[in-house]
Structure 1
């Protein structure tokens, strides 16, 4: 129906903006380190600011969305995240940089939770897997951000203009798409008044949370230290550094394009199990890489494997919350930042002590752990009832 398509297109737009903002900032970590003269330890501490604050933002997002819906939250929080990225580029000193990263963390956590709530609402309306497609566009936006960063580095542009040029259209897209997102009446299967004390058990959610944390240890290692790895371990030229994340996200995008069809055919548990094994193989290539070509192949293979875990975690969490409150999704999303915190501290600490090639052994081991956790994704897809308000066409 037209309303379903409107909501899906708007959700695509929100995912695209989030991927662009994230990639625009994270592909320039090495440049920020050089600009502010940060040591490896200082960089690690600075990178911890974002996931810690984002975790707080995710928890708040769950409470706000349960009452007013995630569209209300995204309207204000996503533009805030984009503005914070631009401010990071203009930061003249470390205190200014920290303040900008705090703002970005709040926006990141709120939008990460909110956009996946929207994705779950759309998936419920379609009554078939569509979540991976949203994450595919996030990855495409991240590739665009990496390409822009690489081109800007080759031209010697300053970080302030680089970040601002990317974020101005991102804010416009976010604001334009918001009016088409699912409202509270469409997002919540039951009203808050009908379910004042919604309880979502932790037991079935825990494997999803752990898989999300393990995934984001690996994702954090690529996002935070991929460019540093190229710069310090491989001594690569500056224009190559953004392609650690670029290759990772390009492979992620390609796999996610066909991800929903694969889930329908093989089931989420099988897809996640194979993904964990492939990701572990990719990290092994990064650890053993003799040069840039092998390293890029390793980052790409890691993207292939990890690409399926996050969308299936959120989709499974949505099935465990039939009232559509967003509580389960907010919990799973919180472990996104647990993984980022552990990943930044663990990989950064090992890299500081033993070098960044050795540091990628840690996410290798945890990626293999996702294979064991995959059985927790085997919950059957919930089919909507004929009287389910979620399949209503307009609020």
Structure 2
């Protein structure tokens, strides 16, 4: 039975996920405007965007190391306000030399927050002894939708810097509220099991691959949805953000009932269906001939991909024999592997077209269907290897 302290930690974790979703969306729906402001080609934009996932991977590794000694709460209290500062800085940057440090700070901060918030989410789920992780990701999606709608509503009436900085005031306030109420180190870990500590390498591989495949698709959508809507479907500035809003809105709707669905049908079945729907959505993006169909297709991808990340982290938490967060950190790294590969598809777009670039995650989404079996709760490594020491 959850205690009042457990419920307090859960509310604080909700806030952390919401702040991260708001910050992420506020920057990413402005990619096309940033490209236009700084006169970047598709290839130059791709190289600039690669900074974010590469440094996010560095930030995630650093966060994992610090969290092992200090707890993820301290990591989040430092990193999350810095993400908000970076988003505002990117909005006001008048040139690429000033945009670059903002993206560097954003990448490092986002990686640290991603790792830390999922450690907190799994810690809360463990204390509740039932699936709750979809709910946290649901708040991430809701905040992302609100961020995209804010940009859509103000795109033609406010300067970009103001549009991007205003939501970050809420982001800083939210992170300051949540920080002291998150799980401290003693609430994150569990007593070590008897016997040798082992790391479930074989069982974790499907989770890592599914996470990478998911984020190839998510990266293409996040980085190029606005460019696709503007250049391929000729959408106006007010319509451009609606594709990302549709993606996050359907993600939100699925995650609202995600925990109940997992309890009823099991994680493997949910991930399998999700892979099939995401495949259909990417096919729709590749083939869309008008703006409404394009927006609907982006929405379908959100339905399909919504369940993969929460179930990957949840399964990693079940496979971790000590609750140390190492398995979660390993799975989280493949978030950035996928995001880097997805960002590099901008080079494919420059050589061919954005439609061809979106065909790549179509194939990988189908691959998630084949990996779904690895999400069964009973999955265990056949030949465990020594547990990596921090």
Query: Fold-level match, TM-score > 0.5?
Result: yes
> In 2, distance between residues paired with 1:350 and 1:186?
46
Residue matched to 1:144: 146
Residue matched to 2:38: 36
By how many angstroms is 1:218 displaced?
A: 0.4
By how many angstroms is 1:323 displaced?
A: 1.3
What secondary structure does 1:128 align onto? coil
> In 1, distance between residues paired with 2:340 and 2:198?
27
Specify every segment of 5 or more residues in structure 1 that has no aligned partner in the other structure, as ranges.
383-395
Residue matched to 1:98: 100
Q: Give the total of aligned pairs.
A: 377
* 8 Å contact from structure 2 (residues 200, 320) kept in 1: no
> In 1, distance between residues paired with 2:376 and 2:280?
24
Equivalent residue in structure 1 for 2:355, among 352, 357, 362:
357
Equivalent residue in structure 1 for 2:11, among 9, 12, 15:
9
Residue matched to 2:209: 210
Residue matched to 1:366: 364
Residue matched to 2:386: none
* 8 Å contact from structure 2 (residues 153, 238) kept in 1: yes
By how many angstroms is 1:130 displaced?
A: 0.3
Residue matched to 2:119: 117
> In 2, distance between residues paired with 1:59 and 1:210?
18
> In 2, distance between residues paired with 1:325 and 1:86?
34
> In 2, distance between residues paired with 1:114 and 1:270?
28
* 8 Å contact from structure 2 (residues 315, 375) kept in 1: yes
Q: TM-score of the superposition, structure 1-length normalised?
A: 0.93
By how many angstroms is 1:199 displaced?
A: 4.3
Residue matched to 2:377: 379
In angstroms, what is the RMSD of aligned CA positions?
Answer: 1.5
> In 2, distance between residues paired with 1:52 and 1:362?
20
By how many angstroms is 1:89 displaced?
A: 0.6
Residue matched to 2:25: 23
Q: Mapping of 1:48-67 within 5 angstroms?
A: 48-67=50-69
> In 2, distance between residues paired with 1:28 and 1:242?
8
> In 2, distance between residues paired with 1:353 and 1:151?
34
> In 1, distance between residues paired with 2:334 and 2:97?
27
> In 2, distance between residues paired with 1:379 and 1:275?
18
What secondary structure does 1:379 align onto? coil
Residue matched to 2:129: 127
| Segments of 4+ moved more than 4 angstroms | none
Residue matched to 2:385: none
> In 1, distance between residues paired with 2:160 and 2:334?
30
What secondary structure does 2:199 align onto? coil
By how many angstroms is 1:358 displaced?
A: 2.2
> In 2, distance between residues paired with 1:75 and 1:137?
19
> In 2, distance between residues paired with 1:94 and 1:10?
36
Residue matched to 2:300: 301
Q: Mapping of 1:268-307 within 5 angstroms?
A: 268-307=267-306
What secondary structure does 2:181 align onto? coil
Residue matched to 1:345: 344
CA displacement 1:30-51 (0-9 Å, x = unmatched): 0000000001100000010000
Residue matched to 1:235: 234
CA displacement 1:3-23 (0-9 Å, x = unmatched): 111010000000000000000
